[in-house]
Chains A and B, each alone.
Chain A
Amino acid sequence: MSLFHVLGFGVKIGHLFWMLCCWFVSWFVDNGIEDKSGLLVGSVGDLEKTKMTTLKKKNKMWFWNKISSSGLKIPSFSYQFLGSVKFNKAWWRKLVVVWVVFWVLVSIWTFWYFSSQAMEKRKETLASMCDERARMLQDQFNVSMNHVQAMSILISTFHHGKIPSAIDQRTFSEYTDRTSFERPLTSGVAYAMRVLHSEREEFERQQGWTIRKMYSLEQNPVHKDDYDLEALEPSPVQEEYAPVIFAQDTVSHVVSLDMLSGKEDRENVLRARSSGKGVLTAPFPLIKTNRLGVILTFAVYKRDLPSNATPKERIEATNGYLGGVFDIESLVENLLQQLASKQTILVNVYDITNHSQPISMYGTNVSADGLERVSPLIFGDPLRKHEMRCRFKQKPPWPVLSMVTSFGILVIALLVAHIIHATVSRIHKVEEDCDKMKQLKKKAEAADVAKSQFLATVSHEIRTPMNGVLGMLHMLMDTELDVTQQDYVRTAQASGKALVSLINEVLDQAKIESGKLELEEVRFDLRGILDDVLSLFSSKSQQKGVELAVYISDRVPDMLIGDPGRFRQILTNLMGNSIKFTEKGHIFVTVHLVDELFESIDGETASSPESTLSGLPVADRQRSWENFKAFSSNGHRSFEPSPPDINLIVSVEDTGVGIPVEAQSRIFTPFMQVGPSISRTHGGTGIGLSISKCLVGLMKGEIGFSSTPKVGSTFTFTAVFSNGMQPAERKNDNNQPIFSEFRGMKAVVVDHRPARAKVSWYHFQRLGIRVEVVPRVEQALHYLKIGTTTVNMILIEQEIWNREADDFIKKLQKDPLFLSPKLILLANSVESSISEALCTGIDPPIVIVKPLRASMLAATLQRGLGIGIREPPQHKGPPALILRNLLLGRKILIVDDNNVNLRVAAGALKKYGADVVCAESGIKAISLLKPPHEFDACFMDIQMPEMDGFEATRRIRDMEEEMNKRIKNGEALIVENGNKTSWHLPVLAMTADVIQATHEECLKCGMDGYVSKPFEAEQLYREVSRFFNSPSDTES
């Protein structure tokens, strides 16, 4: 647990640090961005949105957002970044240089700071050590001095205070020797008495020696132990003398020497007796040992003097002088030995009474290190000043810490600079690459468009000669050919047809890819389309013995608005595939509303094989649409079509070989087939499904499938159409008027398969025949018996007929009442067993070969029931005829600069009965079309000199608009304009290049459509029919 916590914490800290870095970088980047606009839209998070007030801030936050959302993914961050930001590389270089310089300075400063810290510390250490030593020295000196002073009191008490004296030389030396531990710093003490000249002789006599002077001694310092006292001269006559009378053994040689004869001593003695305090001499080489020493002198007074006694009083009261010899060198040596770390520092002691010439008392004169500590020493003599100077023996160590620290800082800074630099150059590089890629992409796209255009053009060019080939072959087939030749020709024609269909498909694909495919918006009859498709495949299905059936839900309106051609193409594709791969069983096309499916989706249980059309198992239909977006999870629709939209769902179910699982993923990829053997055995290019998918996409639908190998496949797609039914029409019975003769009839369908029965029911229902479904023949007969209404026909599935025909016929013969209804056999293939029925002697049943189609059904029933065959309705004629109907009497203006074209176009339109007026230029056309005019339509060439078709149309539209405005304002006479309340002349572009002149381009400048040049009847009809709805409208 705790480990996890630690980890989590670590991650958080890391994240925080990352954020900080990002912020930092973004701040820099923010100032380095040249192109800031265009980044902000939609990229700012909700939370931050509220906080942001300025553009700059937004920008920053954008960056922040981008990074924090992308987490630690640097590539993605840089990618995002590169999307639209340009870097100023030079700017960045400068920044890096500034950064490096800054950090170099910082590291120098750090070095300096750390080393000064170290120096300070060293100084402090030295000071404390030095002070300590000075203090100790002072203390010990003071102790010794006190003792010497005590001794002076001793002498005054026992030598002068007692008569006779209690002290003689021997006592003194013994005493001093034994108490020398108390004066560790003195090498010896001596006492000199004050002897006036008047008392000299008596004194000399008393002592037994003459007073000698030290002078010669100093002149010739002799370093001998057998110091010859006798060699010294007797002291010359002086005012007073200070001969040493007592001395410690160590300095016994000074006995009888006159202290006042020595220069240092005299001064000392005089100062001591006048001040009454201990007085020090300057250091001087000592007699005999010749070492540096200092003599401390105390005066011994006759009586106890008050502290404020004058010097004169003191001099008079002086009895003698006690002197202690301090051997400074050994003294300091001893002292230092007592302390630790003697090795680390050097100590020098100086007498600095004379400032200009300090006298060294201790220590060697080594070269100065620079760092020195001076501590004052106070030995109790205000006249004499001493000081202690301490130095470190070693040079200061290298400042490793500061060096390491500053170096580390420098390294880190350089690294960061390097990272920044690397990042910037990386970003720069990626940016360049991105630019390159963009260009490449553009090129590739251009190439793609060019490819599509090329494909379209080439396909178009191939189609034309292919039509020639096919036509020729067709004619060839009509000539007298033997069987082999006919076979050859048929093969050639089939191949040619395959080629043409392939080319069409490629053309479609190319059109879709180049985005040039547009869906039409025409009213069409869905059921009719399905009948057509069915009839297309009927011969094939009959050959194979595969049952083909269509079921369209009642709730699907009769008329829809959309692109029937493309819808048909999708269906043809899917059914073509199905029929290709299905050898037995059925192919079942169902059309429902999506809503309807939703209502039944819950009730639908897993279909048992028995409930399918042919009794064979099928792939699970539901699975084919489970991925549809419109069917989001838990059956809720994410997309609600607006009321006029009809959302259809179409399923094509077959019992074919199915699609292998491994191939299912690439089924919609162009030119992908299950395997290479497929195209060999079944033909096709594998482009159909991909086109279908595109088309379905254009119809705002989705396509999906489910397939089980060896069981079958089900393809399902949805498509959105608008309702083509007028509200009034909706109320009508949805039966078409041509089949009205069957209305009111009643039929009984004998079928034990509900799915199949439903299909039959649907088709007969369309003819207006009421249908009753019974599963068995007996029930049919029973129904006939008890039925109150007359039954006109009995429909029997071939399957049942084969099984129960005999029985059934017998029963029919028994009871002639049953003969009245017509017997109709629903057969899958032509080779049905009619002969069996024939021999029984009753009326041969009418055989209807599936697939059931309304028109075929009607025709068969008409024939079978003897209902008069009507003339085919007018509008089922060829397009030329309808065109004639549409164009008859219309006044049409044709504008073309090319005389020949003009003449031909005029001729073509005249042929359809139109009243044609020609114009050679756009300008003339404009003058002719200035409202009010009587033209019904205008065909306009696009490429014309002076004024092209687009421009002319624009001008015409402008004029019309002005006219309309005037009409609105009541300026123009409506009477003059006939019954027109607004002007909009249909203008159609004429062009040879279909691909280039897209619908859009035409629409943009106010045209209503385009026709290709030279005219094709069908296309002309399509375009014209959009404007001239019914031929009789204007005629009447």
Chain B
Amino acid sequence: MDTLIAQLQRRFCDFTISLYHQGFLDDQFTELKKLQDECSPDFVAEVVTLFFEDCEKLISNMARALDQTGNVDFKLVGSSVHQLKGSSSSVGAKRVKGLCVTLKECCDSQNYEGCVRCLQQVDIEYKTLKAKLQDLFNLEQQIVQAGGRIPQVDI
């Protein structure tokens, strides 16, 4: 049993570190984790879920706006992307945030092609992140179920 926990814990650590190293996450996620305590045990999950919901909504908003060829409301896209940027930086979704910055620039320069391309990337990126975080949470779950403690990962 212990070995299983230890194994899980190591996997958890490695996975987390890889997430950081591959640039999916940054410090803010660590901060976020620090905020989770006994009073709010699911804080991170909650926030992250909120974030992904937000993502989905905003991305579909933007996609809709960009679909209207010839009459694209860049302002709308801009405000959406600003929101997305804010939430992604709050969560620490580093790659999404970076893409948001690029998308914002494209939007400011009214570069339709760039916007569409970036939006696609954002879509892919957030889905990847979602999958990764899902894995991470699953791992956590497993550790907890196995009766172990979730290890502190220092980045």
Measuring CB to CB, which residues of chain A are less than 8 angstroms from any residue of chain B?
A: 468, 471, 475, 897-901, 903-905, 907-908, 910-911, 943, 945, 992, 1013-1014
Q: State whether A901 and B90 are in contact (beta carbons under 8 Å apart), knowing that A943-B82, A1014-B28, A1014-B31 are contacts in the complex.
A: yes
Q: Is the CB of A903 within 8 A of B47?
A: yes
Q: Is the CB of B86 within 8 A of A907?
A: no
Which of B34-42, B59-67, B105-113, B136-144 is the contact stretch? B34-42
How far is B51's CA from A904's CA once the two chains are assembled, in angstroms?
A: 10
B2 touches A (CB below 8 Å)? no
How far is B80's CA from A945's CA once the two chains are assembled, in angstroms?
A: 11
How far is B92's CA from A903's CA once the two chains are assembled, in angstroms?
A: 13
List 10 tightest A-B contacts by C-beta distance, closest first: A900-B87, A907-B35, A904-B90, A901-B90, A900-B51, A898-B86, A903-B47, A900-B90, A898-B87, A899-B50
Q: Is the CB of B35 within 8 A of A900?
A: no
- The interface residues of chain A lying within 8 Å CB-to-CB of B47 are 900, 903-904, 907
A1017 to chain B: closest residue by CB = B31
A945 to chain B: closest residue by CB = B79
How far is B125's CA from A232's CA once the two chains are assembled, in angstroms?
A: 163
- The interface residues of chain B lying within 8 Å CB-to-CB of A945 are 79
B15 touches A (CB below 8 Å)? no
B5 touches A (CB below 8 Å)? no
- The interface residues of chain B lying within 8 Å CB-to-CB of A900 are 47, 50-51, 54, 86-88, 90-91
17 contacts between A and B (CB under 8 A): A471-B155, A897-B83, A898-B86, A898-B87, A900-B87, A900-B90, A901-B86, A901-B87, A904-B35, A907-B43, A907-B47, A908-B31, A908-B35, A910-B35, A911-B37, A1013-B90, A1014-B28
Q: Which of B31, B39, B82, B87 contacts A910 (CB 8 A)?
A: B39
B86 to chain A: closest residue by CB = A898
Q: State whether A898 and B83 are in contact (beta carbons under 8 Å apart), knowing that A907-B43, A1013-B90 are contacts in the complex.
A: yes
- The interface residues of chain A lying within 8 Å CB-to-CB of B87 are 898-901
**Range, interface on chain B:** 20 to 34
Q: How far is the CB of B58 from chain A (nearest CB, A)?
A: 10
How far is B31's CA from A907's CA once the two chains are assembled, in angstroms?
A: 10
How far is B83's CA from A875's CA once the two chains are assembled, in angstroms?
A: 38
B116 touches A (CB below 8 Å)? no
The listed residue with most B CB atoms (<10 A of its CB), out of A471, A904, A905, A992, is A904
B51 to chain A: closest residue by CB = A900
B89 touches A (CB below 8 Å)? yes
Find residues 1-59 in chain B having any chain A CB closer than 8 Å to their own CB: 27-28, 31-32, 34-37, 39-40, 43, 46-47, 50-51, 53-54
How far is B36's CA from A901's CA once the two chains are assembled, in angstroms?
A: 15
Q: How far is the CB of A866 from chain B (nearest CB, A)?
A: 40
Q: Mark B84-121, 1 if CB is under 8 A from A, else 0.
A: 00111111000000000000000000000000000000
A471 to chain B: closest residue by CB = B155
How far is B46's CA from A903's CA once the two chains are assembled, in angstroms?
A: 9
How far is B31's CA from A905's CA once the two chains are assembled, in angstroms?
A: 11
* Other 7 A-B pairs with CB < 8 A, given A901-B87, A992-B89: A468-B27, A898-B86, A900-B88, A903-B46, A905-B90, A908-B31, A945-B79
How far is B50's CA from A65's CA once the two chains are assembled, in angstroms?
A: 73
A903 to chain B: closest residue by CB = B47
Q: Is the CB of A898 within 8 A of B39?
A: no
Q: How far is the CB of A820 from chain B (nearest CB, A)?
A: 52
- The interface residues of chain B lying within 8 Å CB-to-CB of A475 are 154
Q: Is the CB of B154 within 8 A of A907?
A: no
How far is B46's CA from A898's CA once the two chains are assembled, in angstroms?
A: 14
How far is B27's CA from A1033's CA once the two chains are assembled, in angstroms?
A: 35
- The interface residues of chain A lying within 8 Å CB-to-CB of B39 are 910
- The interface residues of chain A lying within 8 Å CB-to-CB of B40 are 907, 910
Q: How far is the CB of A765 from chain B (nearest CB, A)?
A: 44
- The interface residues of chain A lying within 8 Å CB-to-CB of B91 are 900, 904
B53 to chain A: closest residue by CB = A899
The listed residue with most B CB atoms (<10 A of its CB), out of A901, A908, A1014, is A901
- The interface residues of chain A lying within 8 Å CB-to-CB of B88 are 900
Q: How far is the CB of B20 from chain A (nearest CB, A)?
A: 10
How far is B91's CA from A908's CA once the two chains are assembled, in angstroms?
A: 12
Q: Is the CB of A1014 within 8 A of B79?
A: no
The listed residue with most B CB atoms (<10 A of its CB), out of A468, A907, A945, is A907
- The interface residues of chain B lying within 8 Å CB-to-CB of A908 are 31, 35
A941 to chain B: closest residue by CB = B86
- The interface residues of chain B lying within 8 Å CB-to-CB of A911 are 34-35, 37
How far is B86's CA from A943's CA once the two chains are assembled, in angstroms?
A: 10
How far is B90's CA from A901's CA once the two chains are assembled, in angstroms?
A: 6
How far is B30's CA from A1014's CA once the two chains are assembled, in angstroms?
A: 12
Q: State whether A903 and B83 are in contact (beta carbons under 8 Å apart), knowing that A1014-B28, A1014-B31, A1014-B90 are contacts in the complex.
A: no
Q: How far is the CB of A988 from chain B (nearest CB, A)?
A: 17
Q: How far is the CB of A272 from chain B (nearest CB, A)?
A: 132
Q: How far is the CB of A891 from chain B (nearest CB, A)?
A: 16
The listed residue with most A CB atoms (<10 A of its CB), out of B27, B39, B83, is B83
Q: How far is the CB of B74 from chain A (nearest CB, A)?
A: 16
How far is B40's CA from A99's CA once the two chains are assembled, in angstroms?
A: 93
A1016 to chain B: closest residue by CB = B31
Q: How far is the CB of A949 from chain B (nearest CB, A)?
A: 13
How far is B31's CA from A903's CA once the two chains are assembled, in angstroms?
A: 13
- The interface residues of chain A lying within 8 Å CB-to-CB of B53 are 899
How far is B50's CA from A899's CA once the two chains are assembled, in angstroms?
A: 7
Q: How far is the CB of A1010 from chain B (nearest CB, A)?
A: 16
Q: How far is the CB of B81 from chain A (nearest CB, A)?
A: 12
How far is B88's CA from A992's CA once the two chains are assembled, in angstroms?
A: 12
A896 to chain B: closest residue by CB = B86
- The interface residues of chain B lying within 8 Å CB-to-CB of A899 are 50, 53-54, 87
Q: Is the CB of B32 within 8 A of A907?
A: yes
How far is B82's CA from A911's CA once the two chains are assembled, in angstroms?
A: 27
Q: Is the CB of A903 within 8 A of B86?
A: no
B35 to chain A: closest residue by CB = A907
A1015 to chain B: closest residue by CB = B31
- The interface residues of chain B lying within 8 Å CB-to-CB of A903 are 46-47, 50, 90
How far is B90's CA from A450's CA once the two chains are assembled, in angstroms?
A: 28
Q: How far is the CB of B17 from chain A (nearest CB, A)?
A: 12
- The interface residues of chain A lying within 8 Å CB-to-CB of B50 are 899-900, 903
- The interface residues of chain A lying within 8 Å CB-to-CB of B27 are 468
Q: How far is the CB of A1015 from chain B (nearest CB, A)?
A: 8
- The interface residues of chain A lying within 8 Å CB-to-CB of B86 are 898, 900-901, 992, 1013
Q: Is the CB of A904 within 8 A of B83?
A: no
A905 to chain B: closest residue by CB = B90
